[in-house]
Amino acid sequence: MINRRDMTKGLAAITGSIGMAGLSNTINAANQDIPQGTSKTTKRVIFFLQNQGFEPETCIPETIKENCPLSSIKLAEPMAALEPYKDKMHVIMGLHGRHTSPSHSAYFGALGGYRGGIGVPPAAPTIDHVISQRLPQTILPHLCIGMDSIENMKARPTLATLSATGPAQPIFMHSDPNKLYQMLFGSIASGDVYKRYKARSKVFTEVEKLAALKAKGLPMAEAERYAGYINGFKDMNGLRKKLVNVSEELKKVAPKYDKKYPHPEFETDWHDRLLDIGIAALQANLTNVLTIGSGRGEIFGSWKGIGVEKAGHNLGHMKQAGDDIWIKIRQYNTQMLIKLMKSLEAIPEGNGTMMDNTFIVYTSNNGAKQHTNGDNWSYVLLGNGGGQFKTGQYTYMTDKRPLNDLYTTFLHGIGTPVDRFNMSNTMAARNNSKVGPIEGILA
């Protein structure tokens, strides 16, 4: 039976995200400073950010300050599960993000390459969104999911801290797998999920009509502001229609809706199901960029489901290297990364698999640790994006270039070259940014 209060809460969660940035921005906005490309190889990119930092020693046991084949290095215990995949990896260290002002988190600055902070709105598009606009287009080019404690995910089923379509235009992460499942797979579901989907579809259609009606006669300034809500509902209703048109493809990959969706025992039950939905969205070509925020870009987070009793801010004040708790969290992450790769390897594409045309970026929203100045920002790349990126490599940036230069490299790799990403000439001179991509990363 459909509970009216639950319906209202779900509607509020979605319209909240529409009101802040507009679903139309998420789907359609593009960075005007970056030329449109015609990438024929890289078809999808996944960003996975773990909060509380990424200490280099949790990946490479001893800091090596020279470039070398990754085969000559043994990965640290937290990342050891990726040993069989080293020929598909590229570990990059020595980049800096000092200009992002990280402390507890750089927030939007981690993917934007600009100053971030609590309550600081995004200053420009983030790299994940820009890439989503440059790859072959899909029904929903950019999907963001966020993982947190069960209490936080229920209280705030959508939250925006990491991705943005432009200045003051954040993209909201989905953190309630029930609502996200219903949005993407409700048209092919059964039972109560389908009933809720149909009821909400009717509500959204009616709200769109009412919103358009109420907009008539408003002063110009208010009408323009109100248009964001109207366009948001239009895009939401349009998305539903498009999903119905690909229902047969959705049926092939849709995750099983089990009891852990409505009744999770631990927060990791929801984490796992959010990942399953993200994988299915990639497999069905609903999206070309998936951004995963473990900890949702903040200082919180919980992993009781894997035996970690400590949670939230306290985790950030612990040294990660050699710590049993951080070994468990990082091992949980690596299993998610492996599941992503294997799931894409299972789907044929062209002369290979979906993974052959994908690359995954694993990093943190906060450099090496909490209360950091961002001196050393670690990145692990998985996959070669259709042959565009070198793998089996370890790269250490001795000249301390900013993370923006790595994002510039990504854009070159997908066929949309730029001189710099989100960095003025003044900032470039101050932060040792060079024109063009980082040497040794592109194939």
pLDDT 10s digits, 270-298: 999 999 999 999 999 999 999 999 999 99
pLDDT 10s digits, 359-380: 999 999 999 888 888 899 999 9
Residue 2 pLDDT more than 50?
Answer: no
pLDDT 10s digits, 311-340: 888 888 889 999 999 999 999 999 999 999
Residue 36 pLDDT more than 90?
Answer: no
Averaged over 54-78, what is the pLDDT?
93
- Helices 4-20, 177-185: inter-axial angle, 10-degree rounding: 80
Taking the C-alpha atoms of residue 184 and residue 376, their distance in angstroms, rounded to an integer, is 38
Residue 392 CB contacts under 8 Å (≥ 6 apart), including other chains: 69, 70, 71, 86, 87, 88, 89, 90
Paired with 92 in beta bridges are 379, 395
* Contact (Cβ atoms closer than 8 angstroms) between residue 79 and residue 58: yes
Instruction: List the domain boundaries for the chain.
Output: 34-178+264-431
* CATH domain 34-178+264-431 topology: Alkaline Phosphatase, subunit A (3.40.720)
Burial class (CB in 10 A: 0-12, 13-18, 19+), 191: exposed
Concatenating the DSSP letter of every residue in 206-261 gives HHHHHHHHHHTT--HHHHHHHHHHHHHHHHHHHHHHHHHHTHHHHHHHPPP--TTT
* Contact (Cβ atoms closer than 8 angstroms) between residue 20 and residue 170: yes
Taking the C-alpha atoms of residue 109 and residue 215, their distance in angstroms, rounded to an integer, is 35
Residue 54 pLDDT more than 70?
Answer: yes
Q: Within 13 Å, how many C-alpha atoms sit on residue 94's CB side?
A: 17
Paired with 359 in beta bridges are 45
Determine if the pTM surpasses 0.95: no
